Amino acid sequence: MKAGMIILKTHKEIEIMREANRIVAEILQKIGETIQPGTTTGELDKIADRMIEQAKARSAFKGYRMRNQKPYPASICSSVNEEVVHGIPGSRVLKEGDIVGIDVGVVYKGFVGDAAKTFAVGKISDEASNLLHVTEESLYKGISQAVEGKRLMDISGAIQNHVETHGFSVVRDFVGHGVGRKMHEPPQIPNYRSPGWNPRLQAGMALALEPMVNEGTWRIKLLDDEWTAVTADGKLSAHFEHSIAITDNGPLILSEV
């Protein structure tokens, strides 16, 4: 069923999405247990590949294109330090004090699971720890507003308020999104108040909320690999994401173990 351009999901479809997102959550948990100084981002991608195969799912990221980019080559995105999103895993060795954002997407029984978390590598600075803490908190501030009868910008405003109150900035170039049979469905969900379409939230909406928060300026630039986005000033960035469903009983987080 469609509400305007937004595809509402049935109870059965939400249950399947819960299964897809549980696979993602388990991959993120395993990767979090594996990350330590000396680990390569390519090793983390291999963990995801193996677990996706074992779950009889497929990667939602591998081969994906946005605009005219070349196909994305991996099953996870691994974005280290100043990398905001879409970092490509490979031979990079994680060091003590790094932070690394891991984004995972799978397709299972025709539906997408999508979630992300930023991890500390060993002991990190107090400033980096605060960035991770505030970014994750902002995600839950947004989720708390995902209630039937509220509007999309209630989610966006809650995230922006929390981030900016703590002196950080929200990325403008990438946003959250609806999710379902496709990884990116309407509506787009900015992490900041934006003029324009501001639909009322309804039960059956499935949304991927994903604040991307920078230590300094919100501006980003794209590297030559056509995928990796980095902060324009070289300062740290963090990324947390949950897929949720709006229900009669409030927001249901799909991407938890």
Structural element, H or E, at residue 44? helix 41-54
Q: Which CATH architecture has domain 2-250?
A: Alpha-Beta Complex (3.90)
Contact 7, 38 (CB under 8 A): no
Mean pLDDT of 46-60: 98
Contact 48, 34 (CB under 8 A): no
Average pLDDT value for the chain: 96
What is the predicted pLDDT for the residue at 66? 81
What's the whole-model pTM score? 0.96
Tokens of 84: 């905001």
Alpha-carbon gap, residue 84 to 233, rounded angstroms: 12
What is the predicted pLDDT for the residue at 9? 98
pLDDT of 140 > 70? The answer is: yes
Tokens of 145: 């507003």
Tokens of 100: 């690394």
How much of the chain is in helix, strand and coil states, percent to nearest 5? 30, 30, 45
pLDDT of 3 > 70? The answer is: no
Show me where the domains of the chain are located. 2-250
What is the predicted pLDDT for the residue at 68? 78
- For residue range 219-245, list pLDDT tens digits in order: 999 999 999 999 999 999 999 999 999
In sequence order, what are the residues at sequence separation of 6 or more whose Cβ sits closer than 8 angstroms to the Cβ of residue 208? Answer: 114, 115, 176, 177, 178, 179, 189, 241, 242, 243, 244
Tokens of 115: 């979630």
